[in-house]
Amino acid sequence: MLKLVEIRGVTIGHGKPKIIVSLISSTRDRLQAEIEYLLQKKPDIWEWRLDFMETFEEAELIETLSLIRELTFPSPLLVTYRTVQEGGQGRLRSNAYANLLQLIAKSQLCDLVDVELFSEDNKQLVASIHAEGVKVIVSNHDFEKTPPKEELIWRLREMQFINGDIGKLAVMPKRPHDVLCLLDAADQMKTLYADRPFIVMSMGDLGVISRLGGHHYGSSATFAAGSTPSAPGQLPVELMKQLLL
């Protein structure tokens, strides 16, 4: 039986896929303006892409996070530090990466923290974030290709194994068949293995259909563009709300 994830009145894993919008501004003032612009779009979940920030001084990060929480409350808030290895801007590795995520979790100013599947000591990192009462999305991104279906399923299962509350898998298609491969993997995961929600997406123009119809294959949420897309193929949030299949 699928274990639903409930955060601040939003149920992930049941009903329509939840729309997540990423905040990617590099300064506090720009973030505030970005949020004020997007509030009228009413996303289900907000994501702060911490790796886009110009500074990583601890006190300033927490102050910025506090402002984001205040402006987006009571909607659920996800904080992500995406590394360059997975298509982001972040260059922290190993202990520095883990310490940053633990700092964010200990602040009690967000509901979810993203942990990359192939980060060092990933299972211990997930457990340390859970110890702060914060849920975890375990993620993996491949901006170069779509791995074989068996590998996709293994990665989604591994996200469950290390006890992520939600798994997230994003891959790049080279041909239309790659999109079908991802959706087939998602369907098999849903049917045979999933005991908690997961999110899948095929990126770029070829993969847009996975963002719009992925929930039919088990995907429980989708990412939409706010002021600027944070990944290839994201549709504007208002268009996503109109077109969700």
Active site (catalytic) residues: 141, 168
Using an 8 Å Cβ cutoff, are 112 and 135 in contact? yes
| Residues 57, 232, 113, 85, CA torsion sign | negative
CA 158, distance to chain mean position in Å, is 16
CA distance 160 to 117: 10
Residue 121: which region, alpha, beta or left (left: phi > 0; alpha: psi -120 to 50)?
A: left
Report which of 158, 205, 202, 162 is spatially closest to residue 181, judged by C-alpha positions: 202
**Beta carbons within 10 angstroms of residue 132's beta carbon:** 13
Joined tokens for residue 141: 């991104």
SS (H, E, C) 7-72: ECCEEECCCCCEEEEEECCCCHHHHHHHHHHHHHHCCCEEEEEHHHCCCCCHHHHHHHHHHHHHHH
Residue holding tokens 């790049």?
A: 172
Amino acid at 75: S
Using an 8 Å Cβ cutoff, are 226 and 41 in contact? yes
**Beta carbons within 10 angstroms of residue 26's beta carbon:** 14
